[in-house]
Amino acid sequence: MSHVTHEVSNQSTPLADVNLFSGDRALHDALRFNHPAFDEARFVRLGAEAGSAAMQEHARLANLHKPVLHTHDRVGRRIDQVEFHPSYHALLGSALSHGLHGTPWSGPSGAHIERAAAFMLFTELEPSVLCPVSMTYAVTPALRANAAIFADWGARLGDTRYDARFVPFAQKPSLTMGMGMTEKQGGSDVRANTTHAEFDSDTPWGRAYRITGHKWFFSAPMCDAHLVLAQTPAGLSCFFLPRLLPDGTLNALRIQRLKDKLGNHANASSEVEFDGATAWLVGDEGRGIPQILAMGALTRLDCALGTAGLMRQALAIALHHTSERRAFGKRLIEQPLMKNVLADLAIESEAATALALRLARAIDRSEHGGDAHEAVMRRVLTPIAKFWICKRGSHFAQEAMECLGGNGYVEEEGAGTMARIYREMPLNSIWEGAGNIMALDLLRALRGADVAAALAQELAPARGAHARLDRLIAQVAERVDGSTDEIAARSLARDVALVMQAALLRQHASDAVFDAFCASRITGGGADAFGLLPTSVDFDALIARAMPH
Ligand SMILES: Cc1cc2nc3c(=O)[nH]c(=O)nc-3n(C[C@H](O)[C@H](O)[C@H](O)COP(=O)(O)OP(=O)(O)OC[C@H]3O[C@@H](n4cnc5c(N)ncnc54)[C@H](O)[C@@H]3O)c2cc1C
């Protein structure tokens, strides 16, 4: 016979069945600023779906039941297929139905901005299924360099009808793509790639090669094709390598095993070998690195967007929990020191959203109409946003988790979402160029166009608003002349990010957010522990603005 020993009380309810968009004032204001004509109804629909308890359950299940690799069939033939839980397919289908992959490439001006904001919202539901979605978005500029393949594949990379079948491309309405650069001996320095390509024949898709070698990290191997790097006599070159050949036979790509990862559990990341796999040249022989980096630069945008989305999700959960949980006679959200932590997280989350969407606008505007200023901002803000937003991600997730106390550290809490967010954060920082690589890329960007003039134009709206900000802007202007040493690259990347975030918050956040941002971040620090805001800050205004409902 069971006995009731106590009543369960003072535990928070799940944050479920909320509209993720309607409750996100910061995202709304950033969207309005960057793309005033955005389709609000689209976001309300997506916000409701991504915030629903039913989709949250799919996210839980897709992470609980990790992908399983089947190298062979029952009778010993190679099949090299990964089996996913049905919830993975439900999530990926939803992401494609909302056009988070290749749709902006055929869309009107503003399409990249809308897609970026939608990507951020969907990340709050589940980030790991967005890995193939992101790569499918990013591949178009690189793939265009092979016009014949692009003619067959391009439109289907933006088709919203997800098709999970492992069948030749011609039978599928939509297609997904990934990328393979990293090898055992080098990931950042891909010049060390040993995988090699031998010319085979001229075909309707251009020059076909046989690829032999391996990739040490090869995410989303069930994508229909990947861009890979391999050596030719002319140097490292970019190739289009489909999983199934046009005649339906399995290409000679062997999935060796799946990575046992810290997080990102719903997504399969694999190690692969190519045993004379058939692939087609994309772009010029010997120009593989710039060719594939046209793709890599766009996935870097998604690392920044994804981290900003995860920050928002962690903040919303922390605000919701502390508004229901009581300690020492008050709701936690009413305790002064908890207000300081929550308000500080809210500032960081809004600043990340602002910077990530600004980068999306630079991409949109430079794609539509070739705006020269936006092209410079795109080049500079890509490493800046990837570096700084992702660097702040893990730290942010830890602090938001702490707002939930012990429950935050437990897998069951809110369907394990805080733990999931925490495990996901470092990944956005590492892949597609880890922190140092981003800071060094900024130095390269500074050697190109007149970045000082472009930044001056960007930062003008914030001038005169805050004395310390004016001083930091003046310092940054002196340091972007291309003379910064590598050893100081991170501090320059941080400072450019901070002045950009301040200028954006000045233009589309509340005065309370801007003032608190300057009072806390523009002090020569900007990376302290959270909850150190000065007492002059309007804590209640910051928290009210960030509340998810
Ligand atoms: C889950 C997951 C999925 C992935 N999926 C893919 C994928 O699908 N396709 C793919 O190609 N790759 C993928 N990667 C690989 C990822 O992009 C690389 O791990 C990353 O680029 C770093 O390369 P590396 O691991 O070889 O580390 P290294 O290149 O050895 O770098 C180690 C450290 O050294 C630093 N460093 C390197 N050079 C310098 C320098 N000159 N100065 C200062 N510091 C430096 C780096 O910033 C990093 O912190 C994935 C990684 C993970 C974790």
Asked whether the beta carbons of 149 and 133 are under 8 A apart, the reply is: no
% of the chain residues with pLDDT over 90: 95
Asked whether the beta carbons of 57 and 342 are under 8 A apart, the reply is: no
Contacts of 223 (CB under 8 A, 6+ apart): 132, 135, 136, 176, 177, 178, 243
Mutate to test the pocket of ligand 1, among 241, 425, 431, 444 (most ligand atoms within 8 A of CB): 431
Asked whether the beta carbons of 242 and 156 are under 8 A apart, the reply is: no
The arithmetic mean of pLDDT across residues 412-434, rounded, is: 89
Asked if the model's pLDDT at residue 412 lies above 80, the reply is no
Atom number in ligand 1 closest to CA 220? 8
Whether residue 29 has its Cβ less than 6 Å from ligand 1 = no
Element (H, E) at 140: helix 140-143
Atom number in ligand 1 closest to CA 219? 8
Please report, as a single letter, which amino acid is at residue 362: A
Neighbouring CB atoms inside 10 A of 319's CB total 22
d(CA 296, CA 180): 11
Contacts of 315 (CB under 8 A, 6+ apart): 342, 345, 346, 349, 400, 546
Atom number in ligand 1 closest to CA 180? 11
d(CA 424, CA 265): 9
Asked if the model's pLDDT at residue 317 lies above 60, the reply is yes
Bridge pairing between strands 206-219 and 196-203: antiparallel
Question: What distance, in Å, lies between the first and last C-alpha atoms of the chain?
Answer: 42
d(CA 271, CA 180): 10
d(CA 517, CA 509): 10
Asked whether the beta carbons of 221 and 270 are under 8 A apart, the reply is: yes
SS3 category, 482:
coil
- Note the pLDDT of residue 505: 98
Element (H, E) at 505: helix 489-508
Asked if the model's pLDDT at residue 416 lies above 80, the reply is no
Asked if the model's pLDDT at residue 535 lies above 90, the reply is yes
Contacts of 458 (CB under 8 A, 6+ apart): 377, 500, 503
Contacts of 120 (CB under 8 A, 6+ apart): 27, 305, 306, 308, 309, 312, 353, 356, 357
Please report, as a single letter, which amino acid is at residue 177: M
Neighbouring CB atoms inside 10 A of 547's CB total 16
In tens, the pLDDT along 86-103 reads 999 999 999 999 999 999
Whether residue 288 has its Cβ less than 6 Å from ligand 1 = no
Asked if the model's pLDDT at residue 526 lies above 80, the reply is no
pTM: 0.98
Whether residue 88 has its Cβ less than 6 Å from ligand 1 = no
In tens, the pLDDT along 335-353 reads 999 999 999 999 999 999 9
Whether residue 387 has its Cβ less than 6 Å from ligand 1 = no
In tens, the pLDDT along 434-481 reads 999 999 999 999 998 789 999 999 999 999 999 999 999 999 999 998
- Note the pLDDT of residue 424: 97
- Note the pLDDT of residue 481: 85
**Closest to 508 (Cα-Cα) out of 319, 353, 341:** 353
The arithmetic mean of pLDDT across residues 118-123, rounded, is: 98
- C-alpha dihedral over 283, 268, 422, 95, to 10 degrees? 70
> What φ, ψ does residue 126 adopt, rounded to 5°?
-165, 120
The residue among 481 and 35 whose pLDDT is bigger is: 35
> What φ, ψ does residue 105 adopt, rounded to 5°?
-70, -20
Whether residue 134 has its Cβ less than 6 Å from ligand 1 = no
d(CA 81, CA 209): 23
> What φ, ψ does residue 208 adopt, rounded to 5°?
-95, 145
CA 433–ligand 1 middle distance (angstroms): 6
Atom number in ligand 1 closest to CA 182? 11
The arithmetic mean of pLDDT across residues 198-212, rounded, is: 98
**Closest to 387 (Cα-Cα) out of 178, 546, 527, 290:** 527
d(CA 322, CA 331): 7
- Note the pLDDT of residue 166: 98
CA angle, corner 49, sides to 46 and 50, nearest 5?
80
